[in-house]
Amino acid sequence: MGGNYRFIPDFTSEEISEIQLEGLKWTVGHVSVNSPFYSERFKDVGVSADNIKSLDDLRRLPFTTADDLKNGYPFPLLSVPEEKVVRIHGSSGTTGKRKILCYTEKDLRVWKDMFARCYELAGLTTLDRVQVCVGYGLWTAGAGFQLGSEHFGAMTVPVGPGMLEIQLQLLVDMQITCLCSTASMALLLGEEAQKAGLSDQLNLKRCIFGGESHTPKMRRQFEESLGLESSHDISGMTELYGPGAGIECTAQDGIHYWGDRYIVEIIDPVTLEPVEPGEVGELVVTTLCKEASPLVRYRTRDLTRIIPEPCPCGCGMPRHDKISGRSDDMFIFRGVNIYPGQIASVLEHFPEASSEYQIYLERREGLDFMSVKVERKPDVPEENDSNLAKAISDEIRKFILVRASVEIYKPGSLPRSFAKTKRVIDERG
């Protein structure tokens, strides 16, 4: 075990299991009494707090889904009287209503403590200077990164997303050491710094990034262009306080999650049964001390797996792998289930291609066609395009067992966005 941390507790796995059982009993008791939504659900399946004798009893509880949150709008899962609610946050609702979650004062304390652990595990000290370049306001990102950094004790520079010129100026003038952003924003800032000839004037050491999927290639690209010592993928979602639910350590082999704050299950998204230890499935979370909007077996739709082995970094907190996709992002092409992450993994094999890509799906005369748009790297000659396209297409055929036509574009021509980059354009109607 590590043991030398200020924020990360030094629990053994037995101690974590004990905390989980106590927390599970508390949560089930709390929501059975205080949440109309959960008490109804539990009544339907005939479980109560008295039924929880061991962690295995978790499986007797019903799942909670994003639809349950939407149906309970504007205050879904609310399990405390309104006078205890001090904050709300929401996530973007692409269709229909947003997911709105309530926080008590204790919920905010737990959140910022989890977040401070993330900065600690990423190797920051109170002498670090942290620039927060993620969305503020209703979103959890800005508030979370800021609360956590202040609680940790670092100098915090809240900027928000976008505004590349201002970001670069602050990075240089304030000699910022830690950038907090999405992976695409880090990539963009790295490109801009190089274009503006400012790379040498940066003092960045770390980037904490999250909020969207990324590829190892994308990561290497921004680590290099920003001159980083390390970058750390942070996990979390609005439903589970916000970002800060876990982070990669310096070993960069999966995400340590705070097992004393929530329980992780990995299930088969079709059968809803637990997968074998170490197998990929859907991440399901149950909170252990969340007061205002507790989660009981919440289906996140994120795909990952538990990493059962102890981490070489010495931190005893459990690990899951990086999120490899969303169970909803999956598309079916000529009868094959495909996750965009699989295309990204194929592109990893090609140093001549950048990490940007887009998948276009269309239907012609009743048949589905897939084309993958890829950018060549700046120093790669254009004459190589047709060879590269064929090689990538062959590799897709070999690994994903489907045919795709690959089109190579010049560097910087595929759309970038500050927020989540849309990878799949499905025009099959």
The token duo for 225 is: 């262009």
Please name which of 307, 118, 117 lies closest in space to residue 231, comparing C-alpha atoms. 118
Whole-number minimum distance, CB 12 to Zn ion, in Å? Answer: 16
Query: Which neighbouring-strand residues pair with 405?
Result: 371
Smaller CB distance to Zn ion: residue 311 or 389?
A: 311
| Residue ranges binding Zn ion (CB under 5 A) | 249, 251, 311, 313, 315
Smaller CB distance to Zn ion: residue 180 or 315?
A: 315
Whole-number minimum distance, CB 217 to Zn ion, in Å? Answer: 23
Whole-number minimum distance, CB 249 to Zn ion, in Å? Answer: 3
Whole-number minimum distance, CB 239 to Zn ion, in Å? Answer: 25
Whole-number minimum distance, CB 356 to Zn ion, in Å? Answer: 30
3-state secondary structure the chain: CCCCCCCCCCCCHHHHHHHHHHHHHHHHHHHHHHCHHHHHHHHHHCCCHHHCCCHHHHHHCCCECHHHHHHCCCCCCCCCCHHHEEEEEEECCCCCCCEEEEEEHHHHHHHHHHHHHHHHHCCCCCCCEEEECCCCCCCHHHHHHHHHHHHHCCEEEECCCCCHHHHHHHHHHCCCCEEEECHHHHHHHHHHHHHCCCHHHCCCCEEEECCCCCCHHHHHHHHHHCCCCEEEEEEEEHHHCEEEEEEECCCCCCEEECCCCEEEEEECCCCCCECCCCCCEEEEEEECCCCCCCCCCEEEEEEECEECCCCCCCCCCCEECCCCEECCCCEEECCEEECHHHHHHHHCCCCCEEEEEEEEEEEECCEEEEEEEEEECCCCCHHHHHHHHHHHHHHHHHHHCCCCEEEEECCCCCCCCCCCCCCEEEECC
Whole-number minimum distance, CB 6 to Zn ion, in Å? Answer: 17
* Dihedral over alpha carbons 80, 39, 242, 282 (to 10 degrees): 170
Whole-number minimum distance, CB 326 to Zn ion, in Å? Answer: 25
Smaller CB distance to Zn ion: residue 133 or 311?
A: 311
Smaller CB distance to Zn ion: residue 163 or 251?
A: 251
The Cα–Cα gap between 269 and 377 comes to: 37
Smaller CB distance to Zn ion: residue 52 or 249?
A: 249
Whole-number minimum distance, CB 315 to Zn ion, in Å? Answer: 5
Smaller CB distance to Zn ion: residue 15 or 407?
A: 15
Whole-number minimum distance, CB 204 to Zn ion, in Å? Answer: 22
Smaller CB distance to Zn ion: residue 248 or 356?
A: 248
Smaller CB distance to Zn ion: residue 89 or 256?
A: 256
Smaller CB distance to Zn ion: residue 33 or 251?
A: 251
